[in-house]
Structure 1
Amino acid sequence: MNENILIVEDEIKIARFLELELNYEGYKAEKVHDGREALMKIKNNNYDLVLLDIMLPSLNGIEVLRRVRQFSDIPIIMLTAKDETMDKVAGLDMGANDYVTKPFEIEELLARIRALLKRNTQISNGKGKTENLNYGALHMDADMHIVTYNRDIIELTKKEFDLLHYLLLNKNRVLTREKILETVWGYDYLGDTNVVDVYIRYLRSKLDDRYNVKIIQTIRGVGYVVRDE
């Protein structure tokens, strides 16, 4: 195993508990208690995953996440004591891969860490990754992380990009909301699947509505599909 995990948590007891549990599971865990220190650690070290609390001194977790996403796609799980939808949406919108609300069961957190690391390894090995995907005038360069339509650059968040990539990669296959959540969000989502519908609306507003096309089709009661033109 030996994956390196950075714990960013200002509550000393929680940070120590996570460090001990992760070390016991075979990971190499390191902890910091400050947002700015965490940002420097991530810039200067090769971690496989980050556990990032939202409430931090110096820089809060959302700001740390925003800055990290400017230079790295490292898997990040947000830790928060707030069970509010806006905090979850903000984190996911900024590029978080998952979130866990405190207090949490350590078994659940470990399962999500394993799932996320497994998914990231598959992507690193080239599984599920295609450099160039096209749909009419829509072009996606997955390697450069760029989407264009008629050569116009489409600004997408990381989660919007990942969702569109998954849909294009599975062209002509109807994907259920549950399957989309499991793959794009990186874990078996146990809550409301409405988040998929929200992000589909985001994509449609930037593509379908803007260019008067119908790229993403809804299959009622099932999910979504991108079909050949």
Structure 2
Amino acid sequence: MGTILIIEDHEDINLMLAEALKGAGYQAKSLFTGADGLTEIRNTHYDLILLDIMLPFLNGDELLKEIRGISETPVIIISAKDKVGTKIDLLKLGADDYITKPFDLSEVVARVESNLRRSQQQQKNRFRYKDLSLDDQTKRVTVNESEIDLTAKEYMILELLLKHHGKLFTKANLYETLWPDDDAGDEQTVKTHVSNLRSKLKKANPAIEYIETVWGLGYRLYKE
């Protein structure tokens, strides 16, 4: 059903959460320090993270910042801090949900299920290639988690290439798709937009080439 990482320094609470999640059909791993949690997240993918705030060696809020720098994995905060301001601050830092201690285990399992459903739906609208991500719902494009601004035509070109990864698009194909009501077929216009798109991607990450030109034919994403 899904893999859950629990980062909670109180052993009894941690193991109780793990047992409840395993009973609901999930795979759960328990860690007890923020430093161990960060190492694990850097090396292993999880579908969701349950995160305490008061952790040894690396506080939960600092760990949350680190997580959001490298991952979009849903994070549910579990904390005894019940002030509204604390909840708002952590949600602004990137938490997806907040559960206050003491809690009911059935509520935790229900929140996990709800956040996983939402994450899975968002993933259906998201297209990835290397460190490039395009969200078809929000129309947001990021390179290594940093957003880049594209024109409408640049976005449409990138969307086509990502949705049809590996497919070769001729300049004529692209022109007919982007300008369906124009029969002039100015392929130089397509070339200009592709060039501008390439420049923005290269500025975001100079180390990676994203769009391949197949001379005399057209464009596609480089094979991974």
Q: TM-score range by the shorter chain?
A: 0.5 to 0.7
SS at match of 1:103: coil
Conserved 8 A contact 1:131-1:143 = no
Alignment of 1:99-114 (within 5 A): 99-114=98-113
How many Å separate the matches in 2 of 1:141 and 1:41?
Answer: 28
| 1:61 equivalenced with 2:56 (yes/no) | no
Question: Residues 113-149 of structure 1, C-alpha deviation per residue, up to 9 Å, x if partnerless?
Answer: 101101111111228x84486xxxxxx5345452659
What's the CA shift for 1:111? Answer: 1.1
Question: Residues 7-34 of structure 1, C-alpha deviation per residue, up to 9 Å, x if partnerless?
Answer: 0000110001001111111100000000
Conserved 8 A contact 1:132-1:142 = no
TM-score, normalization: structure 1? 0.58
Alignment of 1:19-58 (within 5 A): 19-58=18-57
| 1:146 equivalenced with 2:152 (yes/no) | no
| 1:115 equivalenced with 2:114 (yes/no) | yes
What is the one-letter code of the residue matched to 1:9? Answer: E
What's the CA shift for 1:81? Answer: 0.4
How many Å separate the matches in 1 of 2:18 and 2:135?
Answer: 36
TM-score, normalization: structure 2? 0.59
How many Å separate the matches in 2 of 1:95 and 1:31?
Answer: 22
Question: Residues 179-203 of structure 1, C-alpha deviation per residue, up to 9 Å, x if partnerless?
Answer: xxxxxxxxxxxxxxxxxxxxxxxxx
Residues 124 and 32 (structure 1), Cα distance of their counterparts in 2 relative to 1, 3 Å cut:
same
Number of residue-to-residue matches in the alignment: 143
What is the one-letter code of the residue matched to 1:73? Answer: E
| 1:74 equivalenced with 2:73 (yes/no) | yes
How many Å separate the matches in 2 of 1:24 and 1:52?
Answer: 20
* Percent identical: 38
Conserved 8 A contact 2:61-2:90 = yes
SS at match of 2:16: helix
Question: Residues 43-63 of structure 1, C-alpha deviation per residue, up to 9 Å, x if partnerless?
Answer: 100100000000000011000
| 1:91 equivalenced with 2:93 (yes/no) | no
Structure 1 unmatched runs, 5+: 134-139, 151-229
Aligned to 2:7: 8
Aligned to 1:124: 123
Choose 1 or 2 for highest CA Rg. 2
Question: Residues 73-120 of structure 1, C-alpha deviation per residue, up to 9 Å, x if partnerless?
Answer: 000000100101222112111100001000011111111110110111
SS at match of 2:69: coil
How many Å separate the matches in 1 of 2:148 and 2:97?
Answer: 24
How many Å separate the matches in 2 of 1:51 and 1:132?
Answer: 26
Residues 4 and 119 (structure 1), Cα distance of their counterparts in 2 relative to 1, 3 Å cut:
same
Residues 114 and 132 (structure 1), Cα distance of their counterparts in 2 relative to 1, 3 Å cut:
closer
Structure 2 unmatched runs, 5+: 127-133, 152-224
* Runs of 4+ residues deviating >6 angstroms: none
Conserved 8 A contact 1:35-1:57 = yes
Residues 88 and 132 (structure 1), Cα distance of their counterparts in 2 relative to 1, 3 Å cut:
closer
